[in-house]
Amino acid sequence: MSAVEAAAAWTRRPCRWNLTEFGRYSCDDRAVTTSTSAASTGLTIMPLTADRLADLATLFDQGGDPKWCWCAWYRVANRTWTNAKPPQNRALLAELASSATAPGLVAYRDDQVVGWVSLGPREDFERLAHSRILAPVDDRPVWSIVCFVVGKRERGQGIARALLAAAIEHARVNGAMTIEAYPVDTAEGRLPSASVYKGTVSMFERAGFTVVARRQANAKAAPRPIVRLEL
């Protein structure tokens, strides 16, 4: 079963459906969400809410960039290692977790958080709006998937793929018609885990995405792919 088929096979608890300004219904689903893909890896995947923030901290506190970033990098254009501290970044995510649209999904296994994916409408990510390389492909409204985090001991077990399938359906039920992402291309060889937090082109292609653009900062820089999936 492909990631797209797995996403289509999701089951959800009953949720409150709201008519959006675009004339579509969105699901304000704050309950447990599971998928066929997630079930095959023993995962339960849920939208991030304020009461799950402490659970997510157990994943981010394992170290590396997430311990500082708290997924604020793409959301605030001028936030860097030098002008922001982890408590500030955590406070930003805490505020977003209390909003109507969850800023991402949390993967649990046996009540332990093992994975995270950050996504939302592209306009929620200030850094994308100021990026020349990742500038909009066109004027279509899209949702963006910007980051994956998988626990150090759980890597290589299909968790990122399950989170991607979850992200597809989460975006779909919240009214998205197109999903976009900015993965790295590993065709030339394996990259360090810290370099693939955006996901890989091959993972997105297996989920039905296609490369719609490749851009370079300069002649010597590696091309940056942009991939899309129409829902």
Kindly report the average pLDDT of the chain as a whole number: 82
**Average pLDDT of span 63-81:** 85
Q: What residue spans define the domains of the chain?
A: 3-230
CATH class (in words) of the domain with range 3-230: alpha beta
Comparing C-alpha atoms, which of 96, 135, 100, 140 is closest to residue 118? 96
Q: Is the pLDDT of residue 179 over 90?
A: yes
Read off the amino acid at residue 25.
Y
Tell me the backbone φ, ψ of residue 116, rounded to 5 degrees.
Answer: -150, 145
What is the 3-state secondary structure of 112-172?
EEEEEEEEEEHHHCHHHHCCCCCCCCCCCCCEEEEEEEECHHHCCCCHHHHHHHHHHHHHH
pLDDT for res 144: 98
Q: Is the pLDDT of residue 199 over 60?
A: yes
Comparing C-alpha atoms, which of 186, 227, 188 is closest to residue 207? 227
pLDDT for res 192: 62
pLDDT tens sequence across 10-43: 333 333 333 333 333 334 444 334 454 565 568 9
Consecutive H or E run containing 33: strand 33-34
